[in-house]
Amino acid sequence: MIIVMRPDATADDIAAVAARLESIGAEPHVSEGQLRTVIGAVGDREEIRSVPWEAFSGVERAVAVIRPFKFVSREFQPEPTIVDVGGVKVGGGNFAPIAGPCAVETREQLFTSAEAVANAGATILRGDAFKPRTSPYSFQGHGEAGLEMLAAAREEFGMPFVAEVVDPRDVELVCSYADLIRVGTRNMANFTLLSELGRQTKPVMLKRGFTATIEEWLNAAEYIYKEGNHDVILCERGIRTFETATRNTLDIAAVPVVKQVSHLPIIVDPSHSGGQRSLVAPLTLAGVAAGADGFMVDVHHDPETALVDGPQAILPGEFADLMDDVRAVAHALGSTL
Amino acid sequence: MIIVMRPDATADDIAAVAARLESIGAEPHVSEGQLRTVIGAVGDREEIRSVPWEAFSGVERAVAVIRPFKFVSREFQPEPTIVDVGGVKVGGGNFAPIAGPCAVETREQLFTSAEAVANAGATILRGDAFKPRTSPYSFQGHGEAGLEMLAAAREEFGMPFVAEVVDPRDVELVCSYADLIRVGTRNMANFTLLSELGRQTKPVMLKRGFTATIEEWLNAAEYIYKEGNHDVILCERGIRTFETATRNTLDIAAVPVVKQVSHLPIIVDPSHSGGQRSLVAPLTLAGVAAGADGFMVDVHHDPETALVDGPQAILPGEFADLMDDVRAVAHALGSTL
Amino acid sequence: MIIVMRPDATADDIAAVAARLESIGAEPHVSEGQLRTVIGAVGDREEIRSVPWEAFSGVERAVAVIRPFKFVSREFQPEPTIVDVGGVKVGGGNFAPIAGPCAVETREQLFTSAEAVANAGATILRGDAFKPRTSPYSFQGHGEAGLEMLAAAREEFGMPFVAEVVDPRDVELVCSYADLIRVGTRNMANFTLLSELGRQTKPVMLKRGFTATIEEWLNAAEYIYKEGNHDVILCERGIRTFETATRNTLDIAAVPVVKQVSHLPIIVDPSHSGGQRSLVAPLTLAGVAAGADGFMVDVHHDPETALVDGPQAILPGEFADLMDDVRAVAHALGSTL
Amino acid sequence: MIIVMRPDATADDIAAVAARLESIGAEPHVSEGQLRTVIGAVGDREEIRSVPWEAFSGVERAVAVIRPFKFVSREFQPEPTIVDVGGVKVGGGNFAPIAGPCAVETREQLFTSAEAVANAGATILRGDAFKPRTSPYSFQGHGEAGLEMLAAAREEFGMPFVAEVVDPRDVELVCSYADLIRVGTRNMANFTLLSELGRQTKPVMLKRGFTATIEEWLNAAEYIYKEGNHDVILCERGIRTFETATRNTLDIAAVPVVKQVSHLPIIVDPSHSGGQRSLVAPLTLAGVAAGADGFMVDVHHDPETALVDGPQAILPGEFADLMDDVRAVAHALGSTL
């Protein structure tokens, strides 16, 4: 921690900061500049962070030098984490195409989509039984009946599935069915839910909050990791910006930034960031080229009747074409699918 | 709903949209312009909204004409809602100064702050027993023990209190102690929690998500209202923008905008938006002048030792001075405290 | 400047940074922490800033301790600047109500509005002859003919006027007519224009870029100040955020933040930030309560025929009512008009 | 234009809107819904847009159905524009790698970089002689002397060059040297500069304002196009968001969005969006995969001594490696370089 004093800070102000640092076992390094004094704090970072330095008299601001997360950082574990999702590996060179309908609507809808994506090369099925919706008047999902249909599709097409959980009281239920549990963008900072998932054995896909910084996102992953669940896959799905031409702005740079600072696998979700069918293919390919460990897209055989997010779903045939391009780009960059 | 067709939309595309509208009992009004055809949809708004129009062939975009919320709108109820918080009225001309520590730390800390704010004219006490924190390594609150201290302070100083709930499983517990239940900014879109609170009888303070639009915020209020709990107070607490000089950007215009479209009372939280002690007074006065129904500020007798948000807490003496200015501005604009 | 080294930085990396600091006459203060080494740089700030530290091997990031502007800071000049606008003082306790039409359309339109605002208590007239417009198909202003009408209105109603300049080649022309030269939000970072104005003797009103941080805004003021023109008035007019309910988000906290770090006067523009007639009054009052040195609003006697920004113009009668409330709030807080 | 009336709009309000539409030769299409009346306006779009509908009594909002730009739209010209830059074609399947130093510092620095990028396959050289800088204390470029060095490099290495212009008074000068004139991100809304460039014969590269929407960006291109200069290349260079891990957020979706609505070529600038050397390669490849017509990167042989933007410059060897990957991805997707 670097503590920057105000130009009008007194010797007593500086001494008070130094004394508090010493009282928690840390060492103050004082540098006097032309205009300001700066105090470097060396010691246990949790102890140092726990003090409200900016509330001290004469302090202008406190700048953290070390990131607040620990276990999910590259410094803690240099080699990439590989997550096992019902037998499918994700990360560390293992690329995962994930596809299926946004929400489970009917058995026929789910199976039509699942068969198509399995044939085209998807390795994990997506489909939700619980949907958090902005309006209380929108379709909220089929609940356990939806999970049962997903389990039947897994049986039929031989692919594990990912499903969202929105309520800490449903964690056990969803874990009893799904192979990979998804935390949606609106729940990324639902620390209650994160802690609960940290005590489970199923892997977790943590979507980035559409208004969360990368650091906050990795802090959220730390909540899960620290409770004992180390199988976390990050999913970049776009952030909220001033641009309204797209639903959200896919932060493509998050892929290489996360790879630099963390060992966790990261995938992209071009469907929910772009919000339009025509943007799914270019954004998916951008994600592959930027180094993502996989991608997740919505596929629906009849988007005009979709109960959730129809405008962004691609057709089964479009998914098959996309998979051809994904393979070509991945091979061009030396990866294998 | 206005459905704007693409310039290359065919007669069949237009007929398909019209047919779907008729199939759900709505009436299509077709206007052919120079470059595009536009279809106005007249009928039941929930039915019309439930169709994914932008997934239809030839559709460029669908523009909602009517806001998605109903019960919390001025159109549904023109006169302002007045919420009763343990005997203290908020809204409809009743102005509420709410103050106290951010988190309950010790009985002494709570009582010192509570006594000071009660003497200066605050009518509701704030103090939290459950804190959602970005980092898993930060202080998370004292839980039920904290609620007990708050109840004791209520007894001692004769003022009702507001406390946050972060987990749907704690709703009953917090409701059994607090007079006003707060939903924090990170939980504004936690629809599970909102629905749970909609089934309680205690009033709810709903903070704006720091990344939520005003429309999304009112949708969140609708979740609570629609379940039967009509006592909702909105709290503007700043939004996330590119500016880093302040913790968040207090969206002062949200006060008059909300008053135009909704009948619910709205207050401001200058402590959490500004993030600095020196900004609390000017932002509070701005809120009063803009027409807010109250404000909520953090007061701590020793910010340097605060476990949560010390840099933004004001001292008891500063709060008393602020109350003098608040009264003066309120009187200048014809309100009474 | 604080230079934070990466955990894997070598002794040679650290030595190279220290050597470069010494080569420019600065002193390196090296602190070795548990995980990282941090180097504090003490010396001439312009020299230190001119080196691309983050391009050095082993450097994680460089954190500036001192703000990049100098002359416009409180440290350089503790007492507030008072700007003289054609005999009307602004700043240091002198409050300026500025009003008039957005654009000069006709002599009748300008004089009707000017007479009304003068009678209601405005001390400076606004009205533009050059308008920068997003679309090339919109009205761009009357040019010199507009400035002549403004000069005639000044004569008639005895109030100085402010007008915008958009082209460095028009600076002399506008300066030959107007009492206060305005730099619009889209030109805040037009450094060519700023430098030109820095060499003039007329005072400048510098609007905040709607996407500029407060620090960038003060840097822009520094461009003007450093060339020799010290009469700069800042104008907060809203920033671009994700919220679409208002045209922009008035950053009300910018008023106290600027007052803390700079000696320049600051006013607010509620018309262009809110973009709606009904928001002008509450936002103006919020600005007054937050401590602004004045405000500027669009007044038009017939907004339905306005060529520019009609929806946000208030009527002459509304302006008179607003002035009553402005006086009341200002008096409540101890200011005089 | 769709004009949405307020629920409390009177028959007179509706009649007034209709009458004004008829007075400008447009046709009102009135639809009465359950809660609101909506009026579709059919007629000349410039005429309809010029009326301040939201200033009319009873009007809630006016929604534009047609985009404000015309000549740069796909509707105006379905086939892609191909721009000729000193003999090098850009757009319509012609992919352009553009590289060189951010600023021209010395002849040696420029020639070292130019030789390296020419050998590695870049087809256009970049290098600036005029730099708009946030701080008035930063290096502002060598002016005409810099342009002369760029012309010498063009001669030596047989590649045309692009250079920025920041002042309308320098347009002729820069056009007399450079093959492609760049408008920087801070000048995208400098309409004076845009109009001046619209009257030149040299092609223009228009960078996106870091706070401009895609629609505003295309409006800026319209300013140039409408004056007669049809050779415009768009350059996505990142937008300002709340994320601080990168300098700006590369809006990768802008590439396919622009391709849908406009016929102009679009390239990406990974150096200025990411702001870090390590992000240049993944962001460039993402741009290629998303369908960009080229890219522009900063290359410097000694970034530690760079006067501008050293931290984001890549080394000549890194550029050569990147070109190998660019070719591989382009080939995988069926393009040729």
A168 contacts B167? CB cut-off 8 A: yes
* Per-residue pLDDT, C21: 92
Q: pLDDT grade, residue B161 (50/70/90)?
A: very high
D191 contacts C190? CB cut-off 8 A: no
Q: pLDDT grade, residue A106 (50/70/90)?
A: very high
C-interface mutation test, from A2, A44, A60, A65, most C Cβ less than 10 A away: A65
Q: A275 pLDDT exceeds 90?
A: no
Q: B70 pLDDT exceeds 80?
A: yes
Residue among B208, B234, B214, B230 nearest B294 (CA): B234
Task: Choose the closest CB to A65 out of C4, C65, C244.
Answer: C4
* Per-residue pLDDT, C107: 94
Nearest CA in chain C to B292: C282
Kindly report the nearest CA distance between residue B237 and chain C, in angstroms.
Answer: 12
B-interface mutation test, from C214, C219, C241, C246, most B Cβ less than 10 A away: C241
A282 contacts D255? CB cut-off 8 A: yes
Centre a 10 Å sphere on the Cβ of residue A244 and count the other Cβ atoms it contains. Answer: 11
Tokens linked to D6: 């307020």
Which residues of B have a CB under 8 Å from any CB of D?
2, 4, 7, 29, 31-36, 38, 40, 42-43, 45, 63, 65-66, 75, 240-242, 244
* Per-residue pLDDT, A259: 96
D246 contacts A257? CB cut-off 8 A: yes
Of all helices (H) and strands (E), which one includes residue B267? strand B266-268
Kindly report the nearest CA distance between residue D154 and chain C, in angstroms.
Answer: 28
C256 contacts B279? CB cut-off 8 A: yes
Q: Are B186 and A190 in contact (CB under 8 A)?
A: yes
* ipTM field: 0.92
Chains that touch C (3 or more CB pairs under 8 A): A, B, D
The rounded distance, in Å, linking the Cα atoms of D77 and A192 is 54
Tokens linked to C8: 């894997």
D65 contacts B33? CB cut-off 8 A: yes
Helix B277-290 and helix C277-290, axial crossing angle in degrees, nearest 10: 140
The rounded distance, in Å, linking the Cα atoms of A296 and A304 is 21
- Chain center to CA of C127: 17
Chain D environment of B4 (Cβ under 8 Å): 65
* Per-residue pLDDT, B332: 92
* Per-residue pLDDT, A308: 79
* Per-residue pLDDT, A202: 98
Q: pLDDT grade, residue A66 (50/70/90)?
A: confident
Q: What mean pLDDT do residues A317-326 have? A: 96
> HSE on the CB side for A24, CA within 13 Å?
18
Per-residue pLDDT of chain C (337 residues; tens, 9 = 90+): 889 998 889 999 999 999 999 998 888 988 887 778 889 888 887 888 888 898 899 998 888 877 888 899 998 999 999 999 999 999 999 999 999 999 999 999 999 999 999 999 999 999 999 887 777 777 788 889 999 999 999 999 999 999 999 999 999 999 999 999 999 999 999 999 999 999 999 999 999 999 999 999 999 999 999 999 999 999 999 999 999 999 999 999 999 999 999 999 999 999 998 889 999 999 999 999 999 999 999 999 988 888 877 788 899 999 999 999 999 999 999 876 7
Q: DSSP class of residue C34? A: S
Q: Are C181 and C168 in contact (CB under 8 A)?
A: no
Share the mean pLDDT of chain A. 92
Chain B environment of A304 (Cβ under 8 Å): 20, 51-52, 55-56
Which residues of D have a CB under 8 Å from any CB of A?
211, 213-215, 239, 241-246, 249-257, 260, 273-274, 278-279, 282-283, 285-291, 325, 328-329, 331-333
Kindly report the nearest CA distance between residue B329 and chain C, in angstroms.
Answer: 6
Could you tell me what percent of chain D has a pLDDT over 70?
99
Nearest CA in chain C to A39: C40
* Per-residue pLDDT, D292: 97
A34, B322, C239 from B285: Cα distances, Å: 37, 8, 21
Residue C86 backbone class (left: φ over 0; alpha: ψ -120 to 50; beta: rest): left
* Per-residue pLDDT, D316: 95
More confident residue, D282 or A274: D282
Listed ranges A34-48, B50-64, C257-271; the one with the highest mean pLDDT: C257-271
Q: D235 pLDDT exceeds 90?
A: yes
* Per-residue pLDDT, D32: 83
* Per-residue pLDDT, C34: 72
B149, C196, C242, D214 from C187: Cα distances, Å: 55, 13, 22, 19
Q: What mean pLDDT do residues A123-143 have? A: 84
Q: Are A239 and A248 in contact (CB under 8 A)?
A: yes
Q: Are A242 and C241 in contact (CB under 8 A)?
A: yes
B134 contacts A50? CB cut-off 8 A: no
Q: A336 pLDDT exceeds 90?
A: no
More confident residue, A205 or B331: A205
Kindly report the nearest CA distance between residue D313 and chain B, in angstroms.
Answer: 25
**Strand pairing report for B204-207 and B232-236:** parallel
Q: D134 pLDDT exceeds 80?
A: no
pLDDT digits (tens, 9 = 90+) for B111-158: 999 999 999 999 999 999 988 777 777 777 888 999 999 999 999 999
What is the three-state SS of C84-108?
EECCEEEECCECEEEEECCECCCHH
Q: pLDDT grade, residue B228 (50/70/90)?
A: very high
Which residues of A have a CB under 8 Å from any CB of C?
2, 4, 7, 29, 31-36, 38, 40, 42-43, 45, 63, 65-66, 75, 240-242, 244
Chains that touch B (3 or more CB pairs under 8 A): A, C, D
Nearest CA in chain D to C67: D135
pLDDT digits (tens, 9 = 90+) for D34-93: 778 889 888 887 888 888 898 899 998 888 877 888 899 998 999 999 999 999 999 999
Which residue's entry shows tokens 């700006």? D248
pLDDT digits (tens, 9 = 90+) for C283-302: 999 999 999 999 999 999 98
Q: What mean pLDDT do residues A141-170 have? A: 94
A-interface mutation test, from D252, D293, D322, most A Cβ less than 10 A away: D252
A253 contacts D250? CB cut-off 8 A: yes
B68 contacts A226? CB cut-off 8 A: no
Nearest CA in chain C to B285: C289
Kindly report the nearest CA distance between residue B121 and chain D, in angstroms.
Answer: 38
Kindly report the nearest CA distance between residue A1 and chain D, in angstroms.
Answer: 18
Helices (H) and strands (E) in chain B, counts: 11, 14
C-interface mutation test, from D192, D226, D247, D300, most C Cβ less than 10 A away: D192
Residue ranges in chain D assigned as alpha helix (H): 11-23, 45-49, 107-120, 144-157, 171-177, 191-198, 214-226, 254-261, 270-274, 277-290, 316-332
> HSE on the CB side for B39, CA within 13 Å?
28
Q: pLDDT grade, residue A33 (50/70/90)?
A: confident
**Strand pairing report for C37-42 and B294-298:** unpaired
Lowest mean per-residue pLDDT among A131-135, A190-194, B244-248, D300-304: A131-135
Q: Dihedral (C-alpha) A139, A143, A147, A152: value to the nearest 10 degrees?
A: -80
Q: Are B167 and B130 in contact (CB under 8 A)?
A: yes
C-interface mutation test, from D17, D70, D186, most C Cβ less than 10 A away: D186
Nearest CA in chain C to D312: C55
Q: What is the pTM of this model?
A: 0.91
Q: What mean pLDDT do residues A55-63 have? A: 89
Q: pLDDT grade, residue B252 (50/70/90)?
A: very high
In order of start, what are the domains of chain D with their CATH numbers? 2-63 (3.30.70.1140), 83-332 (3.20.20.70)
Q: What mean pLDDT do residues A174-184 have? A: 97
Q: pLDDT grade, residue B16 (50/70/90)?
A: very high
Nearest CA in chain C to A60: C65
A244 contacts C244? CB cut-off 8 A: yes
Kindly report the nearest CA distance between residue D151 and chain A, in angstroms.
Answer: 35
Nearest CA in chain B to C291: B282
More confident residue, B294 or C136: B294
Chains that touch D (3 or more CB pairs under 8 A): A, B, C
B303 contacts A52? CB cut-off 8 A: yes
pLDDT digits (tens, 9 = 90+) for B264-273: 999 999 999 8
* Per-residue pLDDT, C121: 97
SS3 call for D300: coil
More confident residue, A305 or B99: B99
Residue among D105, D77, D79, D122 nearest D327 (CA): D122
Which residue's entry shows tokens 């990261």? A266
Tokens linked to D209: 């304002």
